[in-house]
Amino acid sequence: MLYKKTEAKEWAKEAYRGLDTTILPCFTPEELKLDEAGIRHDMRMLCRQGFFAVTLVSGGEAGTTLEEDKRWVEWCVDEARGKVGVTLNVRYYTLAENIEMARHAEAVGCHSIMISYPTNFHPRSEEEIYQYTKAIADATGIGVILFPSVKNEFAAPYRVSAQTLARLADLDNVIALKIGVLEWHWIDACFRLFGDRVLISYPFDDAWPTMIRKYGMQWSGAAPWHNLQTEADPREVRLFNFIRDGSMDEAGELYWRMDPLRKAILSIAMPSALMGMYNFDQWKFLDSLLGFTGGEMRMPKMMLFPWQKLQLQAALAASGLQSVPKTSIPGA
């Protein structure tokens, strides 16, 4: 353990600075079995791009089983070797499974977990949301990131109210919140009610000037930031640092240079996200262009059509970002 449970909030204030990216599981082409070599390759690449942490997109969304997730989180922690933190997203179908995976994440050396909610969780009150989330947080000593989302079909206002999140923020090991509800009154209430106790992240770079300079945001994620940069040209990391350091002219120049790729990604990603699913084929295709393993995802998944692939390739070129052949990466 990097810290005691009672020290989690203080530890996070130092550790959670910069960008937290994501990693998807890799599968073999024919049988779609877990590809250990591909996962390890991707994790090594992510460790070299300036991120402080990597979050695993796990079984609740990526088509992997509980036992498969246990194996690939172990491989990611092993490859990270303390160079970056590893976070496991716990979004399994039962509370018992979420508690089991939270404890496994702690046992193998993850530095945090992120709690989101499975599609079969239908709370009848805010108190039920609170108790469900608290049960997972109480079961582990590592830091907890809260992630209420537009994907939650809850009766509660704005999926989970800022008032309920403020109660959860009082728990010793609740260290952060990933904003997943794009309602500015709700976002402002979160900062106002508990922004002094947990570190709030807005996972899109368009509002970073406001979030960093006005609200004091010190990290952003989890999001696939590596789809917008390379090891040789870590643009998203530089953009965040420019804004944090007050170099706004440099930040603006870099932001607009990156805009063709940003807009192409969002034009494909947002419609599917509003239907409750991420287009992981899009992430994987960009991975393949930028030197990562890429490859197929398991069902259920969204399709990425040939014309969308051409759109992304053109946007990559228009933004001045160079494709990276996988074979050219040292240690691949």
Q: At what angle do helices 248-257 and 235-245 cross, to 10 degrees?
A: 150
The CA distance from 11 to 89, in Å, is 20
Distances (CA, A) of 157 to 53, 152, 165: 31, 11, 12
pLDDT for 285: 97
CA gap 279, 270 in Å, rounded: 9
Annotated domain spans of the chain:
5-229
**Which stretches of the chain are DSSP H helices?**
8-15, 36-47, 59-62, 66-80, 95-108, 126-138, 162-168, 184-194, 208-213, 235-245, 248-257, 259-274, 280-289, 306-318
pLDDT tens digits, residue range 109-168? 999 999 999 989 999 889 999 999 999 999 999 999 999 988 887 876 657 999 999 999
Full-model pTM = 0.95
Residue 273: pLDDT band with limits 50, 70, 90: confident
DSSP code string of 39-91 = HHHHHHHHHTTT-SEEEE--HHHHS--HHHHHHHHHHHHHHHTTSSEEEEEE-
> Which residues are CB-neighbours of 4 under 8 A, at least 6 positions away?
141
**What percent of the chain has a predicted confidence (pLDDT) above 70?**
97
Q: How confident is the model at residue 20 (pLDDT cuts 50, 70, 90)?
A: very high
Beta-carbon count within 10 A of 318 CB: 15
* 174-178/85-90 β-pairing: unpaired
Q: State whether CATH 3.90.199.10 applies to domain 5-229.
A: no
108 CB-contact burial (10 Å; exposed 0-12 / middle 13-18 / buried 19+): middle
* pLDDT tens column, 26-80: 999 999 999 999 999 999 999 999 999 999 998 778 899 999 999 999 999 999 9
Measure the CA–CA gap between 254 and 308, rounded to whole angstroms: 24
**pLDDT at residue 11 tops 50:** yes
Task: Give the SS3 label for residue 120.
Answer: coil
Mean pLDDT of the region 167-180: 97
Three-state DSSP state, 11: helix
